[in-house]
């Protein structure tokens, strides 16, 4: 673990001044002893609020309300709109009662709550129209208020939407015709089964457990044959057995995010990206992160770079004899890989042949809806929780991620699971999603402060070994993948690797979200992608222009990436000699609860 004293005094002073300028030190334990009272209180309060800062919400609402009071024209506009909406609803309701045609308010394309034909009959169409008009009015009320900070405006709009969604007529038996139909048909058995499921979910939640993990690594998923060939305190390195008589001379190192178990890329045999690459002649290495506990509280983001990426890189080169390797990073693993690549380029380390970033951000100025939960107040609140227990359990932030897609992950699931008697589908991806991990206190504080709050990597202020790194130093070819409906790493944010680097970047945009968009093997229905290479000396193309001019291809993006990688993976040759085995894949770290 790096000692802070290894950093030059001038850099320490600069960093310390930066933190003091923000009104608080980097790590709360460095503050006076009495500050522990505040931290303990905030940690306790976090358990009551789902680790969402009440101070941050209060500041947003105060900002919005104060500026709305100072905007009489906006108030008048909202009053007129309310009267207009009321008149529209009355006209629609009258026409609907007598079976006449009326022009309805159309919900957003992704809102499927009222799509069933039963909602088109009176009085349910009247209820749904009233809700949609209210939703529309509140959106007008919470957005476009002059003087409100954009962040606060987004927060207030988001919270208002969540509150309204909780009162949608689709959520209640008395106002949902589909639930009523199922209840009469089953004699109420759907409600009995739903109550039992609700009790089970509540019992698990009170016990601190998440959804059950149905698919177990090594038994149902993570089945690609391989061996653990290196291990340290933070990672196990898995080398997969060759599946072809000859393999490419340049091996592939994959760095997944530590917020997830690595086997998202090695699920069932039919949708395993690892198996797909091994079967096409690539020697694949995979980093499997330890699931940290309280004893790992002081592991830093720099430790993750050193013990994770650099230690694995050393092992791959030593075992294969390859002078250069291809590296691929997914999500946070991609961000860390970009840091490592920039540091290697700065220091003249030429062991990387190419870099692939899967749904990974290097610029955090526009991180999408996730930014709703990231500001100074919210980060300080999370720090209190991590300070108390030494880590952040991803279950503690699960509520925030679910709120980003509340219709899909909260209310629609509640409707299906508890009222319509439709059980959740057990599949490998859903089971993996329930296999939660933890993040050490210091590392996650590093990440939130340096990436989200200070955007240090994109601004060439991120320090590695006491000196800043710059993405423009990276001159190896880059392949970057964005996913169209990503709420974690929005594709336009992922696209920023193009103007921030000084090399050829092949950018690929695929359908789907952060996980399902990446796990898209050939044969998956409804998949499509666009791809184009931007030369390092070519004029910049804005993301929306890029989207409009590039051809849409049907099918999986995996073959396009494998083809790109194969051209940079060297000639085919006999597989390298087996390395000393420390155990069979998937190893032990992935099995840690």
> Could you read off the pLDDT of 155-185 as tens digits, one per residue?
999 889 888 988 999 999 999 999 999 999 9
Q: Which DSSP category does 529 fall into?
A: E
Taking residues 493-520, report their average pLDDT: 96
Check: CB of residue 380 under 8 Å from CB of residue 138.
no
Q: Determine the Cα–Cα distance for residues 180 and 569; give it in Å rounded to an integer.
A: 60
pLDDT score of 101: 66
Distance of CA 269 to the CA centre of its chain: 24
Taking residues 226-234, report their average pLDDT: 97
Taking residues 213-217, report their average pLDDT: 86
- The closest of 246, 250, 291, 254 to 435, measured between CA atoms, is 291
pLDDT score of 357: 98
- pLDDT tens, residue by residue, 52-86: 888 999 999 999 999 999 999 999 999 999 999 99
Place of tokens 């290894």: 6
Residue at 533 is within a domain: yes
pLDDT bin (cut points 50, 70, 90) of residue 21 is: very low
The CATH number that applies at residue 355 is 3.40.50.1820
pLDDT score of 408: 62
Neighbours of 435 (CB within 10 A): 23
347 against 54, higher pLDDT = 347
Size of the chain, expressed as the number of residues it contains: 593
- The closest of 18, 29, 22 to 384, measured between CA atoms, is 29
> DSSP for 54-71?
HHHHHHHHHHHHHHHHT-
pTM of full prediction above 0.85 = yes
Neighbours of 574 (CB within 10 A): 9
User: Does the pLDDT value for residue 534 go beyond 50?
Assistant: yes
- The closest of 468, 496, 507 to 342, measured between CA atoms, is 468
Partnered with residue 493 across adjacent β-strands are none
User: Residues with catalytic annotation?
Assistant: 331
pLDDT score of 200: 86
pLDDT bin (cut points 50, 70, 90) of residue 11 is: very low
pLDDT score of 413: 80
Residue at 201 is within a domain: no
Regarding beta strands 478-483 and 352-358, do their DSSP bridges make them parallel or antiparallel, or are they unpaired? Answer: parallel
Q: In the structure encoding, which two tokens stand for residue 106, read together?
A: 């159309």
Place of tokens 């430790």: 303
% of the chain surpassing 90 pLDDT: 67
Task: Please classify residue 587 by burial: count the beta carbons closer than 10 Å to its beta carbon, then call 0-12 exposed, 13-18 middle and 19+ buried.
Answer: buried
Check: CB of residue 520 under 8 Å from CB of residue 273.
no
User: Does the pLDDT value for residue 150 go beyond 70?
Assistant: yes
pLDDT score of 404: 61
Q: In the structure encoding, which two tokens stand for residue 459, read together?
A: 């601004």
pLDDT score of 18: 42
Q: Determine the Cα–Cα distance for residues 398 and 46; give it in Å rounded to an integer.
A: 13
- The closest of 309, 359, 354 to 330, measured between CA atoms, is 359
Q: Determine the Cα–Cα distance for residues 398 and 420; give it in Å rounded to an integer.
A: 24
pLDDT score of 1: 38
Neighbours of 577 (CB within 10 A): 8
Neighbours of 388 (CB within 10 A): 19
Check: CB of residue 507 under 8 Å from CB of residue 483.
no
Check: CB of residue 482 under 8 Å from CB of residue 489.
yes
User: Does the pLDDT value for residue 527 go beyond 90?
Assistant: yes
Residue at 321 is within a domain: yes
pLDDT score of 407: 61
User: Does the pLDDT value for residue 320 go beyond 70?
Assistant: yes
Q: In the structure encoding, which two tokens stand for residue 175, read together?
A: 């106002």
Q: In the structure encoding, which two tokens stand for residue 432, read together?
A: 């993996």
Q: In the structure encoding, which two tokens stand for residue 451, read together?
A: 């990436």
Is the N-terminal amide bond of 196 cis, ω within 30° of 0?
Answer: no
- The closest of 227, 323, 224, 319 to 280, measured between CA atoms, is 224
Residue at 127 is within a domain: no
- Lowest-confidence region among 7-11, 240-244, 325-329, 513-517: 7-11
> DSSP for 100-125?
----PPPPPTT--TT-SGGGGSTTHH
Residue at 388 is within a domain: no
Check: CB of residue 468 under 8 Å from CB of residue 11.
no
Which structural domain, as residue segments, surrounds residue 526?
Answer: 226-365+455-591
pLDDT bin (cut points 50, 70, 90) of residue 14 is: very low
Q: In the structure encoding, which two tokens stand for residue 146, read together?
A: 């002059």
177 against 24, higher pLDDT = 177
Give the SS3 label for residue 371: helix
Q: In the structure encoding, which two tokens stand for residue 469, read together?
A: 């790194």
pLDDT score of 12: 36
Q: Cα-atom radius of gyration of the chain, to the nearest Å?
A: 26
User: Does the pLDDT value for residue 514 go beyond 80?
Assistant: yes
pLDDT score of 9: 37
User: Does the pLDDT value for residue 24 go beyond 60?
Assistant: no
445-472 burial, b for 16+ CB within 10 Å, e for fewer?
bbbbbbbbbbbbbbeebbbbbeebbbbe
Residue at 236 is within a domain: yes
User: Under 8 Å CB-to-CB from 51, ≥6 apart: which residues?
Assistant: 381, 382, 385, 396, 397, 399, 400
Residue at 354 is within a domain: yes
User: Does the pLDDT value for residue 518 go beyond 90?
Assistant: yes
User: Does the pLDDT value for residue 283 go beyond 80?
Assistant: yes
pLDDT score of 479: 98
Check: CB of residue 382 under 8 Å from CB of residue 51.
yes
pLDDT score of 313: 98
Residue at 478 is within a domain: yes
Number of domains in the chain: 1
User: Does the pLDDT value for residue 15 go beyond 50?
Assistant: no
pLDDT score of 381: 84
pLDDT score of 7: 39
- Lowest-confidence region among 10-14, 193-197, 271-275, 318-322: 10-14
pLDDT score of 211: 66
Q: In the structure encoding, which two tokens stand for residue 449, read together?
A: 């402060």
516 against 46, higher pLDDT = 516
End-to-end CA distance of the chain: 24
322-360 burial, b for 16+ CB within 10 Å, e for fewer?
bebbbbbbbbbbbbbbbbbbbbbbbeeeeebbbbbbbbb
What is the residue-averaged pLDDT of the chain?
88
% of the chain surpassing 70 pLDDT: 90
């Amino acid at each position: 673990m790096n000692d802070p004293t290894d950093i030059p005094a001038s850099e320490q002073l600069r960093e310390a001044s930066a933190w003091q300028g923000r009104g608080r030190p980097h790590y709360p334990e460095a503050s006076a002893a009495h500050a522990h009272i505040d931290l303990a209180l905030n940690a306790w309060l976090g358990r009551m609020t789902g680790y969402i800062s009440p101070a941050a919400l209060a500041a947003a609402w105060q900002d919005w309300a104060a500026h709305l009071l100072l905007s009489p024209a906006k108030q008048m506009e909202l009053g007129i709109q309310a009267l207009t909406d009321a008149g529209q609803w009355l006209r629609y309701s009258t026409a609907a009662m007598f079976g006449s045609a009326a022009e309805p308010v159309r919900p957003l394309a992704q809102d499927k709550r009222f799509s069933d034909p039963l909602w088109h009959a009176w009085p349910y169409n009247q209820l749904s129209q009233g809700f949609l008009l209210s939703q529309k009015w509140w959106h007008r009320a919470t957005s476009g208020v002059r003087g409100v900070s954009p962040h606060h405006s987004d927060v207030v709009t988001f919270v208002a939407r969540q509150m309204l969604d909780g009162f949608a007529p689709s959520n209640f038996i008395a106002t949902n015709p589909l639930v009523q139909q199922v209840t009469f048909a089953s004699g109420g058995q759907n409600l009995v089964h739903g109550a039992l499921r609700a009790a089970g979910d509540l019992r698990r939640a009170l016990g601190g457990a998440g959804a059950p993990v149905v698919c177990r690594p090594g038994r149902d998923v993570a089945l690609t044959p391989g061996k653990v060939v290196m291990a340290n305190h933070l990672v196990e390195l898995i080398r997969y057995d060759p599946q072809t008589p000859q393999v490419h001379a340049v091996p592939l190192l994959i760095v997944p995010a530590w917020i997830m178990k690595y086997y998202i890329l090695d699920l069932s045999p039919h949708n395993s990206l690892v198996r797909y690459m091994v079967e096409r002649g690539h020697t694949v290495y995979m980093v499997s992160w330890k699931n940290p506990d309280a004893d790992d509280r002081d592991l830093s983001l720099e430790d993750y770079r050193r013990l994770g990426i650099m230690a694995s890189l050393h092992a791959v080169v030593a075992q294969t004899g390859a002078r250069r390797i291809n590296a691929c990073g997914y999500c946070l693993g991609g961000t860390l890989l970009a840091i490592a690549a920039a540091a290697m380029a700065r220091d003249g380390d030429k062991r990387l042949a190419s870099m692939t970033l899967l749904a990974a951000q290097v610029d955090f100025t526009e991180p999408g809806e996730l930014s709703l939960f990231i500001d100074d107040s919210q980060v300080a609140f999370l720090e209190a929780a991590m300070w108390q227990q030494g880590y952040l359990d991803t279950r503690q932030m699960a509520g925030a991620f679910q709120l980003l897609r509340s219709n899909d992950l909260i209310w629609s699931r509640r409707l299906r699971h508890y009222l319509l008697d439709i059980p959740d589908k057990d599949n490998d991806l859903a089971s993996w999603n329930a296999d939660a991990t933890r993040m050490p206190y210091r590392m996650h504080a590093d990440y939130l402060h340096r990436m989200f709050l200070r955007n240090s990597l994109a601004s060439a202020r991120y320090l590695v070994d006491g000196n800043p790194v710059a993405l423009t130093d990276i001159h190896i070819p880059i392949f970057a993948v964005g996913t169209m409906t990503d709420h974690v790493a929005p594709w336009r944010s992922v696209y920023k690797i193009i103007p921030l680097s000084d090399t050829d970047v092949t950018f690929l945009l695929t359908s789907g979200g952060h996980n399902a968009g990446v796990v898209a093997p050939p044969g998956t229905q409804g998949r499509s992608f666009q791809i184009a290479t931007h030369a390092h000396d070519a004029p910049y193309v804005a993301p929306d222009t890029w989207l409009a001019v590039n051809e849409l291809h049907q099918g999986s993006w995996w073959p396009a990436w494998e083809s790109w990688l194969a051209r940079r993976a060297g000639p085919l040759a006999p597989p390298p000699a087996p390395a000393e085995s420390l155990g069979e894949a998937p190893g032990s770290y992935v099995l840690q609860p």
